[in-house]
Amino acid sequence: MATAKLNKPKQFLDEARKLHRRKISSTEFWNSLCGIDGQLSRLFPTQTERVAFSKTTEWKKFHELWQELQEQDKQTVPLLPPLPARSAP
């Protein structure tokens, strides 16, 4: 059982890497891992466990992957055109 606990950060990062390779959006990436019923809450169900995990190198690497996808989103998602100016009544 102790081995499973030691592997939780690695399991989380492995899932993050798998999703990252799929080049999904940063929002989908975050929600899959950290959203309601995401990998984070399944592997680290308590606040104490999540705080401890947030101090690991795996968490830091997860954030790096997420930031890469955020940059990808900026390059692939077109900006909305400006709204037309309103004329005075």
**What is the tens place of the pLDDT at every residue in 9-22?**
999 999 999 999 99
The region, left, alpha or beta by phi > 0 then psi within -120 to 50, assigned to residue 23 is left
Neighbours of 72 (CB within 10 A): 16
Provide the domain count of the chain.
Answer: 1
**What is the tens place of the pLDDT at every residue in 24-51?**
999 999 999 999 999 999 999 999 999 9
Residue 31 lies in domain: 7-74
In a domain, 26, yes or no: yes
Which pLDDT band, with edges at 50, 70 and 90, does 88 fall under? low
Looking at every residue in the chain, the average pLDDT score rounds to 88
In a domain, 19, yes or no: yes
pLDDT for position 75 = 84
In a domain, 29, yes or no: yes
